[in-house]
């Protein structure tokens, strides 16, 4: 089984993981210094959010040079060292590849904007204005994800350029073969340095309708959404068929490097769903994030629905992913627990861990998830991300999910000796690595245990997912098992997502099944079960089912 099916992958947001020189910004040497934490956790791969030189308008997703390291994070030597030290510990390293756009400070764009005849002009999208003078407007109504028109006026050459995100992130023209081959070279540069693959940023954006038709507006309640981007249906500004061609071409290159992997980020509402980017399961991406689980409300029915959909959507022989948190969304410990007690929040975080690590597919963890980090409670003046600022305080934004990793209970949480770029979250003292490291009942210990179990159990890794009680309103009960002919243990997961105790009746839970894990550290493992079991409020059990 290839490593990226077997292993759990951990996302590091380099700004926030570990600062090694006191400037308050995380860096590569810091990550290297913390690799043993990751090894003890049992993960097998890290994905680094961008570390390339960047003006940092979008904290690295605005790349101004592709084959170098931003000095804030260190040097190429620091990178090679990180790679080497990771590999030495059996940890693979994925880079973030931002294909849709560059920084407006990238030499390509600087050259493109010099004149309309620039050799690089066509590397980006340009359009003439409609109307003149004060009546001048962009060719259509497209909106940037981060707000406002997706078109920015270039006074020198009197045309608009397209930017799907910030105006400092002009979109690359993927119809231009030169762009494709330039990006291929970037990929090769890092693959030749022995990185193990890429997370592809915003891939469903790379194709657009260049006749520039306007998008229709959204219907119903969505018409009144605060973010202008959400008030439209994205029929023309993304998700066009040529995306698949570009991905097939990239896959051919990656396939020349054994054991490397492509994992794509695509919007949850992309037509046909994110699974479309698996192609036929062999010719586009190896893995695609499923943000529908991340966006699902806490509850058995909503979880079941997205899990089932995803099970059906991923084409075989494709392989699913599971993800609950990342650098763009409210952390799940916070998101699943708005308005509930701290105790309940902890219980839900433990259940979420068990679900994430026992569902079928490669789990992705977001740094700090393993200790139950919550969104930081920030003030407006703490904010750094332009998007978070723009919609503050109506939308939680992204900065709260990017606060420094909490290593210990000292004031800067062991992250820095200086002033951190974002304040350390005021979480309770126990939400840090030092406090949880040797505590058998901690969330960190639960993650370690479950990751170990997943890596070593053929049924958890490769078994089918079978929903055992599809009608149950408050409990999610499923089995992970290999075909009956294979004599290995199977697992039954019984999760009570409600705040009340629940009886689960199920013949398969025979007395020979053993409760292997409960997410409730105080609950007895040897409780009676014979065709039924009593689950505590917000408790999940993992049963080991011996082979017949
Ligand atoms: C992706 C990234 C996000 C970034 C955007 C533009 O969605 O995850 O952080 O701002 O793309 O690159
Ligand atoms: Ca630093």
**pLDDT tens profile 244-254:** 999 999 999 99
pLDDT of residue 427: 86
194 burial type by CB count under 10 A (0-12 exposed, 13-18 middle, 19+ buried) = middle
Report the distance separating Cα 353 and Cα 364, nearest Å: 11
pTM of the model: 0.98
312-315 contacts, C-beta under 8 A, 24 or more apart: 313/273, 313/274, 313/275, 314/275, 314/278, 314/281, 314/288, 314/361, 315/275, 315/278, 315/279, 315/280, 315/281
Q: Which DSSP state fits 405?
A: P
What the block records as the tokens of 163 is 């930017």
Closest atom of ligand 1 relative to the 100 alpha carbon: 12
pLDDT of residue 396: 87
**Ligand with minimal distance to 73 CA:** 2
- For ligand 2, an ion, list residues with CB under 5 A: 19, 21, 23, 25, 27
CA atoms within 13 A on the CB side of 464: 8
> Do 3-102+177-451 and 464-545 agree at the fold level?
no
Specify the CATH class of 107-162 in words: alpha beta
The ranges of the chain with pLDDT < 70 are: none
Question: Is residue 29 a contact partner of residue 78, using CB atoms and an 8 Å limit?
Answer: yes
Known catalytic residues are 201, 265
pLDDT of residue 428: 79
The domains of the chain are located at: 3-102+177-451, 107-162, 464-545
What the block records as the tokens of 265 is 């980020």
Q: Whose CA is nearest to atom 3 of ligand 1?
A: 328
Ligand 2: distance of its center to the CA of 105 in Å? 23
Query: Torsions phi, psi of 5, nearest 5?
Result: -90, -35
Report the distance separating Cα 210 and Cα 203, nearest Å: 17
Angle, helix 242-254 to helix 177-192, in steps of 10 degrees: 30
Ligand 1: distance of its center to the CA of 58 in Å? 8
What the block records as the tokens of 32 is 């290297």
pLDDT of residue 272: 86
Q: What is the CATH number of domain 464-545?
A: 2.60.40.1180
Q: Which residues line ligand 1 (CB under 6 A)?
A: 58, 61, 98, 165, 201-202, 265, 327-328
Ligand 1: distance of its center to the CA of 408 in Å? 29
**107 contacts: CB under 8 Å, gap ≥ 6:** 64, 65
Q: How many CB atoms lie within 10 A of CB 407?
A: 21
DSSP three-state, residue 540: strand
Report the distance separating Cα 23 and Cα 421, nearest Å: 8
Q: What is the CATH number of domain 3-102+177-451?
A: 3.20.20.80
**396 contacts: CB under 8 Å, gap ≥ 6:** 330, 375
Residue 269 vs residues 204, 265, 295, 461, 482: alpha-carbon distances, Å: 10, 12, 11, 28, 32
55 burial type by CB count under 10 A (0-12 exposed, 13-18 middle, 19+ buried) = middle
pLDDT of residue 94: 98
């Amino acid at each position: 089984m290839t490593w990226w099916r077997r292993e759990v992958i951990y996302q590091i947001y380099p700004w926030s993981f570990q600062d090694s020189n006191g400037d308050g910004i995380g860096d590569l040497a810091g990550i290297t210094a913390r690799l043993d934490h990751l090894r003890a956790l049992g993960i097998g791969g890290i994905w680094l959010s961008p570390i390339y030189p960047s003006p940092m308008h979008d904290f690295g997703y605005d790349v101004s040079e592709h084959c170098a390291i931003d000095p804030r994070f260190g040097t190429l030597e620091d990178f090679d060292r990180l790679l080497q030290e990771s590999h030495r510990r059996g940890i693979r390293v994925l880079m973030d590849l931002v294909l849709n756009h560059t920084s407006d400070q990238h030499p390509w764009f600087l050259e493109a904007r010099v004149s309309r005849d620039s050799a690089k002009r066509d590397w980006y999208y340009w359009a003439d204005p409609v109307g003149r003078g004060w009546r001048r407007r962009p060719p259509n109504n497209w909106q940037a994800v981060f707000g406002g028109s997706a078109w920015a006026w270039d006074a020198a050459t009197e045309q608009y350029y397209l930017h799907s995100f910030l105006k400092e992130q002009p979109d690359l023209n993927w119809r231009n073969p030169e762009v494709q081959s330039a990006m291929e070279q970037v990929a090769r540069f890092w693959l030749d340095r022995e990185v193990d693959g890429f997370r592809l940023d915003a891939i469903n954006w790379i194709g657009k309708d260049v006749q520039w038709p306007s998008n229709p507006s959204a219907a119903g309640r969505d018409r009144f959404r605060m973010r202008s981007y959400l008030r439209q249906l994205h029929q023309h500004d993304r998700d066009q068929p040529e995306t698949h061609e570009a991905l097939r071409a990239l896959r051919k290159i990656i396939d020349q490097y054994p054991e490397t992997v492509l994992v794509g980020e695509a919007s949850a509402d992309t037509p046909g769903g994110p699974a479309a980017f698996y192609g036929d399961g062999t010719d586009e991406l190896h893995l695609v994030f499923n943000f529908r689980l991340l966006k699902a409300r806490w509850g058995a029915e909503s979880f079941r629905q997205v899990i089932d959909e995803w099970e059906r959507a991923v084409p075989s022989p494709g392989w699913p992913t599971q993800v609950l948190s990342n650098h763009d969304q409210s952390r799940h410990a916070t998101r699943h627990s708005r308005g509930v007690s701290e105790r309940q929040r902890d219980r839900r975080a433990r259940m979420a861990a068990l679900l994430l690590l026992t569902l079928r597919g490669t789990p992705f963890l977001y740094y700090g998830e393993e200790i139950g980090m919550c969104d930081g409670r920030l003030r407006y003046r703490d904010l750094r991300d332009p998007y978070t600022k723009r919609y503050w305080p109506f939308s939680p934004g992204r900065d709260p999910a990017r606060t420094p990793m909490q290593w210990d209970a000292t004031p800067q949480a062991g992250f820095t000796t200086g002033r951190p770029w974002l304040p350390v979250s005021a979480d309770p003292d126990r939400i840090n690595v030092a406090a949880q490291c040797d505590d058998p009942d901690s969330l960190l210990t639960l993650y370690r245990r479950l990751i170990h179990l997943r890596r070593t159990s053929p049924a958890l890794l490769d078994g089918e997912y079978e929903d055992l009680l599809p009608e149950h309103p408050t409990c999610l009960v499923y089995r992970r098992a290999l075909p009956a002919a294979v004599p290995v243990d199977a697992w039954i997961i019984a999760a009570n997502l409600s705040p009340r105790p629940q009886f689960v009746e199920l013949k398969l839970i025979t007395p020979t099944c053993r409760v292997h894990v409960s997410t409730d550290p105080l609950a007895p493992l040897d409780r009676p079960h014979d065709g039924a079991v009593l689950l505590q409020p917000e408790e999940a059990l993992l049963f080991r089912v011996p082979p017949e």
